[in-house]
Amino acid sequence: MNREKAKLAQAEVYKTALDMYSSGLVSGTWGNISARIDETFMVITPSGMAYESLSPDLMVVVNMDTLKYEGSLKPSIEAIVHADIYKNRPEVNGIVHTHSTYALTVATARKEIPPICEDQVQILGGSIRVADYAMPGTKEMALACLKALDGRQGALIANHGAISCDVSLAKAFIGSQIIEKTAMVYINSMAIGGPVEISQKDVAFFSDFFRNKYGQKT
């Protein structure tokens, strides 16, 4: 493992965790955030720690094949979910998992959010599916998330929260904000007759745009 890359990933995870905390996407707990170091290692937030007591060097380096970790702090219990996404989605370099209020509201109703907002389609890749319910921190939850994320950058997790992944942690963080906003818009639109979906033709246009953007590796 390249130690310089690991240090950069720790700094990025810590900074994004602070940003997430101040954005209000988490309340009481951190949710969890990770960044890929390479094909074998990732950095993830530690389990159940108050942000005031942390620093970049306490972000946990985890071997994604064995889930063994370095240092004295245990990684988030969702480490297996993050590891399985990195192993199955080679383009993904950052993951954000939250229990944000509007996303969780829709996740408790287990309703897939259809394509209703342009930024949703462009950034998340289409509808926001709901991963089947599974106990946190299990292989079943990892598989359910992977299935819901197929061809997407974001998904809800039944009765649990939301997850976003992208080519960088900064983009995954934007994705988590788009999920929360889209869930709020979806709930609000239900009060005025329900949303009108973006047509399949226009969804395809945005998907093309999305693929091109990825092709340029911005």
Closest CA to 94 of 43, 174, 169: 169
Q: Which two tokens stand for residue 6?
A: 């690991």
Q: What size, in residues, is the chain?
A: 218
Contacts (Cβ under 8 Å, ≥6 apart) of 80? 67, 137, 138, 139, 141, 142
DSSP 157-182: ETTTEEEEEESSHHHHHHHHHHHHHH
Active site residue 91: no
Residue matched to tokens 């007591």 = 53
Of 12, 39, 52, 78, which is the active-site residue?
78
Any idea which residues carry the catalytic annotation?
A: 78
